[in-house]
Amino acid sequence: MKRQLLGFAALLLLAGGCAHSRSREELAVDNAWQVAPPVIAALTGPAALLLTNLDGWQGRLTLTLNPEAGHVRQVSGQLTESKGRLYFESDSGEKNRSGRFALIWDTGRNQGWVMSEALQGVAPLNGTNWYSLARREPDASTTDKQDGHPVQNTLVTLLGSDGKSWQYQVAQAADLAQLALQIHPLAGPEPVSLALSNIRLTPPAETLFVPPDDFSKYSSEAALLDELITRQRSVFNDNDEYHPPKGALDQPGSESHFQNNPAYTR
Domain residue spans in the chain?
Answer: 2-52+80-127+205-236
**Between 19 and 175, residue with greater pLDDT:** 175
Angle at 254 between CA 253 and CA 256, to 5 degrees: 140
Q: What is the mean pLDDT of residues 49-56?
A: 94
Q: What is the pLDDT of residues 83-127, one digit of tens each?
A: 999 999 998 754 555 678 999 999 999 999 999 988 999 999 999
Q: What is the pLDDT of residues 170-219, one digit of tens each?
A: 999 999 999 999 999 986 555 789 999 999 998 888 999 999 999 999 99
CA distances from 5 to 1, 8, 22, 23 (A): 6, 5, 14, 11
With a CB cutoff of 8 Å and minimum separation 6, the contacts of 197 are: 59, 60, 62, 147, 181
Q: What is the mean pLDDT of residues 60-78?
A: 80
